[in-house]
Amino acid sequence: MDKKKETAPKNEYLLRFSKPYHFEDEIFAEIDLSSIENITASDMIAAQKMMSKGGAVEALPEMSMQYACYIASRVTDKPVEFFIGLPARDAIKLKNIVTGFIFGAD
């Protein structure tokens, strides 16, 4: 008798850190970005405005690391500094999740 192993659907918006990430007084192994599915044009405009306030001018802001950090901050309620402080490898994973969602096909 074959027993099929039931597995939960993979959360494509779960960012697993390459090593434990220390922020303030906490240690994180991962962060869930699945609320990205609820972002609106207003959230995207707010992220772009934050970039503009900081002096960033991008032809395609949605492709920038800074934009990914602002969007991640909005969908997780973590401060943007949480994401700006990520190690490079994890920051690229973050950017890929955000841009993959924005530009991904249905």
**pLDDT, tens digit, 9 for 90 and up, residues 51-106:** 888 777 766 778 889 999 999 999 998 999 999 999 999 999 999 999 999 888 55
Q: Which of residues 30 and 105 earns the better pLDDT score?
A: 30
Given a contact cutoff of 8 angstroms between Cβ atoms, the answer to whether 61 and 48 are in contact is yes
> What is the structure's pLDDT at 62?
81
Q: Which residues of 7-30 are buried (b: 16+ CB within 10 A; e: fewer)?
A: eeeeeebebebeeebeeeeeeeee
**Residues 63, 68: Cα–Cα separation, whole Å:** 8
**Residues 102, 81: Cα–Cα separation, whole Å:** 22
Q: How confident is the model at residue 40 (pLDDT cuts 50, 70, 90)?
A: very high
